[in-house]
Amino acid sequence: MDAPSQATPQDVTVADRSFWHQDEGLLASIGCRLETAVRWFTDVRAKILIVIGGLTLVVVSGMLLDSYGTVNDVNGGPMVRLWMLPLWLCSFVHLLMLFISVANNCTHACPTSPLRHAKSSDSLGPYRLHHRIGSGGMGDVYLAEHTFLERKCAIKLIRPERADKISRARFEREVRAAARLAHVNIVTIYDGGRTIDGTFYYAMEFLDGMNLDDLVQQHGPLPTARVVYLVAQMCSGLSEAHRLGLIHRDVKPANIFMTVQGGKWDVVKLLDFGLVKPIVDATSLTLNGMVTGSPFYLSPEQATGKRLADQRSDIYSLGAVMYFLLTNRPPFCDEQTLQLLLAHVHRQPTAISEFNNDVSMELEATVLKCLAKHVDDRFSSAADLVEALHACPEWGEWDAVAAAEWWQAKLVNAF
């Protein structure tokens, strides 16, 4: 999902201005451990153990010193030392174990470090983490709940091993870009920030359903009318992003989620804006010559890197998604990434009608226009694509009622 990145001079400047400084993260981490240590020491049980261990050590040490002062005593001063030495060692080990316990608590029980295996007791600000529900190129996603609002949500955290400056800058850009988008077909961002130990996160709406990749893998090619119905919603979401000057650059079935909202089924949500980029962006977070996006669904210009991606690049990817939904296979299925890239640039996909006889000529022509090699031969906007879909005979044959019936039938069969 994430392309390798290179820090150009402009990138370093942007990254250095970010709040992701390594030194700040180190200081925050030390502060977290000190905070945990103080909290542990103020615990009643810790006080009791420390007092008992300390008094025992002091008393036994005093007796040992006293016995050393009577080393020439004929009443057995050396014997006193031998009696006291095991007690002194036990007391010393007791306190040593206490300090080891504190160290372990500071390292592993920091309440603001949720990157370990999440439990129901883990918290992240006002959110209570439950369990991991997904994983992406830059971070993991956890099911969570806002403790005050009692509202379910999904929280995405950046992975420590991906915490270089460029990936952190990309993660930060994803949050801010998605937060700018307010649309029914784009996942809603509730909150975002950084924990005391430097972990960056954002909270988004929790979606109950499945992505289109899983849907097709489980149920095969979708009815043509349903594909038209879903793609029209995708176009609506992308139109909003393009209106704000943002290009998704990673449109693929796994990043398109189907959920139920307000009692309405088959509501599409666009996910994962980690590769989103302004149409005019002087700062590149991508290596020259490297691809951005998923090889099965990326546009020819993304494959070659000869020109900047624009909204027509998203149109190409959307056409590849339509091809997949109708045939249960992407336009090109080469196993080698290089062969896939060359196919997007030079080869024509196999006719959809060879895999699905139910596809109308108008719908197939619409998909193929999306997949045109040259950007000028594609639809110029998502709105133009919707107009073409409206002219297909499948338009209007699928709606929320048909979607509800389909899902209810699947749920009944599941039990």
Phi-psi label, residue 4: left if phi above 0, alpha if psi -120 to 50, beta otherwise: beta
| Bridge-based pairing state of the strands 264-270 and 277-278 | unpaired
Determine the Cα–Cα distance for residues 171 and 177; give it in Å rounded to an integer. 10
φ and ψ of 121, to 5 deg: -90, -10
Written in H, E and C, the secondary structure of 92-160 is HHHHHHHHHHHHHHHHHCCCCCCCCCCCCCCEECCEEEEEEEEECCCEEEEEEEECCCCEEEEEEEECH
16 is catalytic: no
Q: Which residue has the tokens 């449109």?
A: 251
* Other Cβ atoms within 10 Å of 214 Cβ, number: 14
Determine the Cα–Cα distance for residues 143 and 347; give it in Å rounded to an integer. 42
Which residue in the list 11, 250, 266, 314 is annotated as catalytic?
Answer: 250
| Bridge-based pairing state of the strands 264-270 and 256-261 | antiparallel
* Other Cβ atoms within 10 Å of 5 Cβ, number: 19
DSSP string, 71-92: TT-TTTHHHHHHHHHHHHHHHH
Query: DSSP assignment, residue 351?
Result: P
Residues annotated catalytic, as ranges:
250
